[in-house]
Amino acid sequence: MTTDLASLWPLDPAVTFLNHGSFGSCPRAVLEHQLEWRDRMERQPIQFFVRDLEALLDRARESLAAFVGAATEDLVFVTNATTGVNAVLRSLSFQAGDELLVTNQEYNACRNTLDFVAARSGASVAVAEIPFPVGSEEEVVAAVLGRVGPCTRLALLDHVVSQTGMVLPVERLVNALQGRGVDVLVDGAHAPGMVPLKLAQLGAAYYTGNCHKWLCAPKGAAFLCVRRDRQTAVRPTVISHGANSPRTDRSRYQIEFGWTGTGDASAWLTVPEAITFMGRLLPGGWPEVMRRNRELALAARRVLGP
């Protein structure tokens, strides 16, 4: 499986870098594209931020929404999936007696957010114990649904478990939980670029994912996708000008997340280039990239495993 593709990344040639799941590395060509956006921003900041940025971000969101199978109106940029989880959980209102469901394999940062919100509101946290290694999809579904009670308000679920790489059956879980009146927040930090996504079809109330991992976009590129009927309740973690905007040409959800203060939007604007670049690496495009990465992971497990 040896190729010369590694030369397209600015990785240390003395190190075999495997952990794209934590931070990933961005290809040289994509970084060059990001630098072009930064140059444009610094060349005429007022023009860039005041007149150009919103339309530029709209186009970038359109590209990303098409890639993840979502409606552009439902998707906003955030800096990372942890920020997306915080935006949702800290926007929602819970009270004593409410129950928030999570698995024992949830990413620590997001579990901490859930615990914080529960402690602040007086809600309780129920933990579904998913075994590892797991024998079947049925074990996962049974473990999660077995912890649903009459007071369960929300479930926070990984799409791909950070520690193990296990892909949870989110389609089945979302359908089953929402059928019981439980909204689902999917922590899809590792999913974009690793597995095919059809978020509109999935129908989860909330889904957040990173673009800096397997999508190989610059650091600071991530998204939050909120179902249309839940958008009015979700606010960004930073409240800015959009909170009292009189505009009616787009939703408050889009307006507020579209501007949370001055920052470097180049990572978001570079996402379409990352999608295109990675999709052209191999004959077969993104499906082949995903297939090959899985094949490489399984090969590595055979080498390193007992």
pLDDT digits (tens, 9 = 90+) for 29-57: 999 999 999 999 999 999 999 999 999 99
pLDDT of residue 186: 98
**What is the pLDDT confidence band of residue 2, given thresholds at 50, 70 and 90?**
low
- pTM: predicted TM-score of the whole model, two decimal places: 0.96
Per-residue pLDDT tens for 73-85? Answer: 999 999 999 999 9
Per-residue pLDDT tens for 264-287? Answer: 999 999 999 999 999 999 999 999
pLDDT of residue 18: 82
User: DSSP character for 236?
Assistant: -
CA distance 246 to 299: 56
Alpha helices for the chain (secondary structure H)? 28-43, 45-46, 53-68, 81-89, 108-121, 137-145, 170-179, 199-202, 252-258, 266-269, 271-279, 285-304
Q: Output the average pLDDT for the chain.
A: 95
What contacts 305, CB < 8 A, 6 or more positions away? none
As a whole number, mean pLDDT of residues 124-149 equals 95
Per-residue pLDDT tens for 241-259? Answer: 999 999 999 999 999 999 9
Q: Examine the pLDDT at 59 and tell me if it is beyond 60.
A: yes
Q: Which H or E run includes 77? A: strand 75-78
Q: In what order do the strands lie in the sheet with 183-188?
A: 75-78, 222-226, 206-210, 183-188, 152-158, 99-103, 124-128
Domains parsed from the chain with CATH numbers: 35-273 (3.40.640.10)
Burial 29-56 (b: 16+ CB within 10 A, else e): ebbebbeebbebbeeeeeebeeeebeee
Q: Examine the pLDDT at 16 and tell me if it is beyond 90.
A: no
Bridge partners of 156? 102, 185
